[in-house]
Amino acid sequence: MLTWFVPQMMLPNSTAAIAMTQKYVVLMVAHSRMDKATGINSYEDIAALEPKDQNGNMLAAVARNDLPPASVAMLAGLEAVLRQSLGAYGKGLKVFVFDKGDVDSCKKGQLSVQLAGETYTWETPFPGCSNAVGHDKSADRT
């Protein structure tokens, strides 16, 4: 499972979450394997991801220590809720933050990430950009 959190996914009054997803590429990932004999899932520890923009340029990872305090708190809260509410699956989830570079969910482009031998690709712009909070509509007229 691989999810890219974009501003269009946030509630309009979630200004801190919107600001964070406008400034950074925030990815949540989990990779599990099921034991065929027991039916029990185990989760692989994913140490790093290497997302790339439409030109194949790798996005730079942003360390938690380099994020603003509000973003660190928001990520810690998200991870705690997921661990408590989703059990083993929630414990298998990991959140990564990257400098967005040229990636923007409201501009023409692409984000791709390789995970477990597959390439996951998002084509942008995402639906809902014209209504996105903080989206500069004049940038669409280039």
The answer as to whether 22 is a domain residue is: yes
H/E element, 134: none
Give 101's contacts (C-beta < 8 A, 6+ positions apart). Answer: 53, 57, 59, 60
Residue 51 is predicted with a pLDDT of 96
Length of the chain: 142
Give the residue numbers spanning the domain of 63: 2-130
The answer as to whether 90 is a domain residue is: yes
Q: Is the pLDDT of residue 21 over 80?
A: yes
Residue type for position 30: A
Q: Is the pLDDT of residue 98 over 60?
A: yes
The answer as to whether 137 is a domain residue is: no
| pTM, rounded to two decimals | 0.81
Residue 43 is predicted with a pLDDT of 66
CB-CB contact of 25 with 51 (8 Å): yes
The answer as to whether 67 is a domain residue is: yes
**Residue 119 DSSP SS3:** strand
Residue type for position 134: G
The answer as to whether 39 is a domain residue is: yes
Report the number of distinct structural domains present in the chain.
1
